[in-house]
Amino acid sequence: MSTNNFVPSLILRTPLWIFLWATLCFAAFSFHIEAIPPYHTDENFYVESVRNMVETGDYITPVYQDKKRFAKPPLYYWAVALNYKVLGPGHVSARLVSAFMGALCIALTFFLTRRLFDEPTAWLSAFILPGLYLHFQISRWAITDMMMAFFVLSAFYCSLRSVENTRVRIGWLYLFYFSISLGFLTKGPPAVLIPASSLILYRFFQKEKIPLREFRILSGLVLILAMNLPWFLTMWLLHGDEFKNHILGAEIKNRVIHDLPFSFYYFGVLIRYNLPWSLFFISALLYWSGWKQKEGFKNLKLSPWKKIRFVAGSLRENPSLLFCLTWVFAPIIVFTLFRIEHSRYLLPVAPAMAALLAHFFIELNANPNGLKSILFKIPFYTTLGIYGLIAIASALALCLVYPLSPVPLSVLLLPILLLPGTTLLFYGYRAGKSLRVIIATGILQVLLLTLVSGSVQTYFNRSPMQVFADKILEVGSGKEELALFQGSSHRARLGIMTAQSAYNFEEIKELIHFIQTPGQKFIVMKEKDWQTNFQNLPLRKIAEDQLWQSKKQDKGLIGKILSDGILQHRDDLLETHVLFSTF
């Protein structure tokens, strides 16, 4: 089967179609983006800090819960502030910045992969990238990582454009440094470490002949400093030693000098946060290592370093492949050596992983038996098994939980789409439509993540306090103080959804003192706590919601539910929470 026959010829003729696909992915990233689960606790910092920026007019110093926050440079704050001006404050406006950047990454990955390989490979990469869980999920979070990932991707694209026929094109070279500068202004050093380590490792293995002076590294560093130093100097002048000590301590010393043990954390992240595509990625690495070839077995006796050099030597004939491999593994090596363990740090390698997988599929397809080999069959059938299990498990869970709450259509769609979708993938593969099946798998994976993140987790996780947030925004002015009693797991959620400061109190006396201080307030607590400890306080009940009980459940409860029905054990599962106001 020709690689040019698996997508419509119209698509191959016009890049405008990639922007249509990116727009559809933006819609997927934005689907029920107002829902909280799953969410990242760091979202609180940006949602509330940016609201404070807009209200005070101070766009230089981020402030979170009345404390200055020096952890990140300001570019993401400014982008969210612009969205607040247009759409109003809140976590939806903040998250849409990441969703937009995530969609842009899909389009830019297409153009980068097309330059590295060819157009069919580029199309496959564009269908694979949004289905990588790490990319999809962070596109729905109000944190800095997706914006930085876009600028890192832009830097890699500009680096490719800057070198053509052993000649350095100055314009693209400075755009490379400009992209790194914007990435640094978003999240700091990772924006430099990732492209720098990758390109240095690539140059080492490729034995690049272009002299280093051609890359104008000194001029590039001057550009990076010129774009970033003004904010850092301004913060130092405004806040003096407080800012300096934070940068030298928390942001540099504590990230480099610590007691965390050495581990292979990021190799695990690469696999588990990119399922099921990471299963194919393992096959791709085995395929390129020559494990089925006679010379591959001969070299199994080499030391690990010599084996890497051997494989790199064989890859040197395919510089595009080597470029993507160093892009994936250089950051893993760097962050492993620093022993900094944050899964989202691997987000910028997702485009390279998508390009590698697409190239792997195209190479297999060029071999008459390639897509019928064990390297493809094992991950493919494992993927079908995963989809089948998710469909069956979700259907059974819906039947079990349905009596407690009506099931929204978007939740019902999960098993409805997965079961026939998995069946069609199976028969499509058996019919020899392998590359079309890969595209269909990419689309099905995006639909799966869309429904799970946008609807299913919210339905099954009755803890986002959405009812309370909506009521606070409806009747409040946005200036009230929010508090929870023994609800630390909900404090961040309530703060994100309202873009207001939310405090948690564990002691009865602390909450009573908070309520008695001047000012309008909203308070959330369990109904039984109110009846026991706070019934005599001047509080007005304005909303209530039932959430899953936080206490550890009896191990035999599931058996009892299956035999008696879930309604008979409603009180064992749910507890009533109440929203009060002081006015």
26 in Cβ contact with 100 (< 8 Å)? yes
Which has more pLDDT, 64 or 104?
104
533 in Cβ contact with 580 (< 8 Å)? no
**Bridge partners of 180?**
none
Round to whole Å and give the CA distance between 181 and 219: 12
Rg of the chain, C-alpha, whole Å: 26
Q: Is 432 left (phi over 0), alpha (psi -120 to 50) or beta?
A: left
322 in Cβ contact with 411 (< 8 Å)? no
pLDDT of amino acid 465:
78
Which has more pLDDT, 65 or 419?
419
What number is the average pLDDT over the span 353-376?
Answer: 89
Which has more pLDDT, 579 or 537?
579
* 285 has a pLDDT exceeding 60: yes
DSSP class of 3: G
133 in Cβ contact with 374 (< 8 Å)? no
Q: What is the pLDDT of residues 312-334, one digit of tens each?
A: 566 667 889 999 999 999 999 99
Q: What is the pLDDT of residues 419-471, one digit of tens each?
A: 999 999 999 988 888 888 999 999 999 999 999 998 888 877 766 678 888 88
Q: Is 15 helix (H, G, I), strand (E, B) or coil?
A: coil
Cα–Cα distance list, 414 to 134, 257, 344, 440 (Å):
20, 46, 26, 16
Local confidence band at 79 (pLDDT 50, 70, 90 cut-offs): very high
Q: Burial code of 115-141, b = ≥16 C-beta within 10 A, e = fewer?
A: ebbbbbbbbbbbbbbbbbbbbbbbbbb
Residue 336's Cα: distance from chain center in Å? 20
Cα–Cα distance list, 323 to 203, 204, 246, 276, 278 (Å):
9, 11, 36, 23, 19
Question: Of 439, 473, 237, which is closest to residue 357 (Cα–Cα)?
Answer: 439
What number is the average pLDDT over the span 232-241?
Answer: 90
Q: What is the pLDDT of residues 46-64, one digit of tens each?
A: 988 998 899 899 999 988 8
What number is the average pLDDT over the span 289-296?
Answer: 54
* 238 has a pLDDT exceeding 80: yes
What number is the average pLDDT over the span 161-165?
Answer: 81
Burial status of residue 240 (CB atoms within 10 A of its CB: 0-12, 13-18, 19 or more): exposed
Identify the weakest region by mean pLDDT among 202-216, 397-411, 546-560. Answer: 546-560
pLDDT of amino acid 561:
66
pLDDT of amino acid 166:
67
Identify the weakest region by mean pLDDT among 5-19, 277-291, 411-425, 472-486. Answer: 5-19
How many other β-carbons are positioned within 10 Å of the β-carbon of residue 581?
18
- The amino acid occupying position 341 is E
